[in-house]
Each structure stands twice: as C-alpha cells, then as structure tokens.
Amino acid sequence: MNEPSRLAVLGAGHVGPVVARLAIKAGYPVSIANSGDPDDIALVADLIIPGAQPQWASDAVAAADIVVLAVPLHRFLEIDPVLLSGRIVIDAMNYWPASDGVLTLFEDGGSSEIVAGLLATSTVVKALNHIGYAELEDRARPSGALDRQAAGVAGDDTAAVATISGLIDQIGYDPVRLGTLRDGRVLQPGGPVFGSVLTRAEFERAVSEDARSIA
C-alpha cells in the first residue's frame, strides 16, 4: 500500500487547524504553516493541532502532495504562485465581501476559477469551503454511518478531483463530485449549500433546485 499523501495546511486561523485535525485523525501526515516563523505557531500546533508539524510555508509545501489553502483570500494574493507549483491545491477559501471586504479581482465569477487562473502551474480543487469551521469536525462521520453528511468537490482535473474525493471520504464526509471548477460555484457564499450541513440526497436536491432556478 502506498504511503498516505502528505498535507501542507497553509493558515492557522479558524479553518486551517480544523482541517489539519481531521486529516491527522484520518492518518495523513500534516504540516501547518502561516505567513511567518513556525515558532510563532508552535504553541498553537502543540495544543490545538496535536500531531501537526509547524513549518515554514515553503518547507511544508515542498514536502507535501496536497496543499490546503485556508487563509483569508486577500492574504492568498500575497503567496507566490511558484511556491505551489506542481501541487494539488485544495481551495478552502471563500470570497465573502460581506465579511471580509471587497476584492476587485474576485468581484466577477467563481473565486476558485480566479484562484486557479493565478496558480497556473498547480491543480486547483475546490473543497472544504462550504461547511462552517465550527461544525466541520463535529459533523464528520466514518464511511457507512447513517448520519453521514455530504461535502462538495469540484475541479477541472479528474484525477485530482478523485484524489481529493478520497481525502474528503477519509476525513468523514460523503464526497459529491460536481464537475468543473465552474460547477463548483454552487459551493460559494450565496450558493444553495453554503453554510449548511446536508446529507448527499439533500445536497444533490439543493444543487439541482438551484440549477432550475437559474435556468
């Protein structure tokens, strides 16, 4: 059996530690980084994310197969795309002007499509952005559980979407593949599943009803 993929979680705020804990629990090796010195987040890693290795972002990414972007979108714009080159990148970020302010670059279109445009040498998959961080851990259930909930996965690269769907399954959600990043717009703020935790049937119904309302 292959060794599990190594994750680099970029962001040690609201979302990053939650994703890191879920991945560690599922058996993935996880590094965590923010924009600065790993010493600054050592205490957070030790107490809030036991098992995660605090590193410089460049070191964490260099050793990783999968990078999770869990930083505010305006801070993402400060990351050098070269750093993420060749990696599968989970975009767990949201463009949420009502909460974070307006970013002109993201005013039109899907935020992950814009992220993917900026990360031309990475493979971007949209996932883990639509369930609130307060609930993400509490609602996770192993495969086969009756009260298992769904989580959307969208991307233009089928193999990467399959990889990330496997990760989503392992950390406790039923992965719902949505097709392309364009299709992943349903996961954004204002979309039919943003901020709610739904079963696969409820999730698929919400998405198809939304498609009908747009058509």
Minimum gap (Å) between residue 136 Cβ and other proteins: 9
Q: Is the dihedral of CA 40, 41, 42, 44 positive or negative?
A: positive
Which of the stretches 2-10, 99-107, 141-149, 164-172 binds other proteins when contact is defined by CB under 8 A?
Answer: 99-107
Assess 196 for contact with other proteins (CB under 8 A): yes
Q: How many CB atoms lie within 10 A of CB 154?
A: 27
Residues 26-45 that bind other proteins (CB under 8 A): 34, 41, 43-44
The answer to whether residue 195 forms part of the interface with other proteins (CB under 8 A) is yes
Q: Which position among 5, 48, 63, 210 is part of the footprint of other proteins (CB under 8 A)?
A: 48
Q: Contact with other proteins (CB under 8 A): which of 1, 78, 99, 215? A: 99
DSSP output for 107-146: SSS-HHHHHHHH-TTSEEEEES-SS-HHHHTTT---TT-T
Is there binding between residue 145 and other proteins (CB under 8 A)?
no
- Which of 138, 147, 201, 214 is in the footprint of other proteins by CB under 8 A? 138
- The full 3-state SS of 29-88, as one line of letters, equals CEEEECCCCHHHHHHHHHHHCCCCEECCHHHHHHCCCEEEECCCHHHHCCCCHHHHCCCE
Report, in Å, the least distance between residue 91 CB and other proteins. 17
Residues that bind other proteins (CB under 8 A): 12-14, 17, 34, 41, 43-44, 47-48, 74, 96-103, 132-135, 137-138, 188-191, 193-197
